Structure formats: C-alpha cells, structure tokens
Chain A
Amino acid sequence: GAVVSQHPSWVICKSGTSVKIECRSLDFQATTMFWYRQFPKQSLMLMATSNEGSKATYEQGVEKDKFLINHASLTLSTLTVTSAHPEDSSFYICSARWDTQYFGPGTRLTVL
C-alpha cells in the first residue's frame, strides 16, 4: 500500500515553455501532498505544501507564480513550471501524506 506515482518520469522542453507534472496517490486519499526539488548530489528541498481544495503554501524563496500547484482531488496534485528556463532543470519529487509521507518516483526536467 501507500503507492505514489508521478507523470511524466522525464521531460525535455524548450526555454520559455510550460511543463505540467502530475502526482497521484494510487491506493489512498491524500489531503496533503508536498513538492520537492532536488539538484544533483544535493538533498531534497521542500518547495510547497499542496492542500486539497485550497491554495498551496510555498516555502520562502519559491515563486508561486512560476510554480503553479493545483490539488483538485484527494488523489491528484499537479505542479506546472511556467516559462521554464535552464536553471529550472532539476529532479522534482512529490510526496503524499497517509500515516506519514510517501514519495513518488520523481520527474527529471531538462530545459534546453
């Protein structure tokens, strides 16, 4: 149990375009999901907390207008990177809350 999926697993896009990443809890309902970013050889850094039916809470230094989060149902949260630039290239990982946090497999974003 407690399986979290992400789609896509990797994406390459051109600078200036927008990219949407989906996070789904497959066998449980999650009122809270979290989005993290991980640069090579670094730890996970929390970007935002996504609450079903309400606005996301962003960590200090994370631009809410650039990283749009929508948690429209108890099993789905989406992260949209708008007007992506090469410095947004990273590994994006979501987690979903059940008894604790369970993580998705991550999405590798490369912006050319």
Chain B
Amino acid sequence: GNSVTQMEGPVTLSEEAFLTINCTYTATGYPSLFWYVQYPGEGLQLLLKATKADDKGSNKGFEATYRKETTSFHLEKGSVQVSDSAVYFCALTSQGGSEKLVFGKGTKLTVNP
C-alpha cells in the first residue's frame, strides 16, 4: 500500500533560518500529497497540498513541490519564525479516490529567537 517516509526530528533552528523537511513516498497511481501542521495542544490542520506532478503547494511562506521522478514532497521555508514551532506531518491519499490519508511520523520543529 501507499506509504510515507518523513525526515526524523527534532529540528531546531534559529529565527530567519532556512527550513527543509524531507518527505518521500511510495504509492500506486497518482496520489495527492499534503503537509499538515500541529501546533502545541491542537489538532492537525492542513498547511498545503498538491494534487499532481510538478504542482507546487504554498501557504504562509511554506512551499512543497510534487516531484514524481524522485517521489518526494519536501517542505521548505526561506525564513522561519518562532511561531512556526510545531510538528509537521507529510501525508498522501491512501489509494486512488480514497478519502483515507496515510501520514508520516511527524517532524518536530523548534525555532529559537
């Protein structure tokens, strides 16, 4: 079945540093890809998504590009802020047309002032 391998954390950065969190996937067909973010004490919320190859999802300064050739969907941000401290989850649709998502294990990011 479909699966996600996500960069293990924790990741600690200084404010304004560049962020990359790696995510690779294994899938049959053409899954949609997602990044979810979980702030302390809250549920997950969608950060960005991409539905087909070469699509770029972006939101709040974060970006990720759907790379079919490398089966990757790496999350990037050029300049992180303290408020970006959270756990980030890469996910994909379980199978074509399914509402079920498969999540990675999550990467905890801490940004220090």
Say whether A associates with B.
Answer: no
- Using a CB–CB cutoff of 8 Å, the interface residues on chain B facing chain A are none
- Using a CB–CB cutoff of 8 Å, the interface residues on chain A facing chain B are none
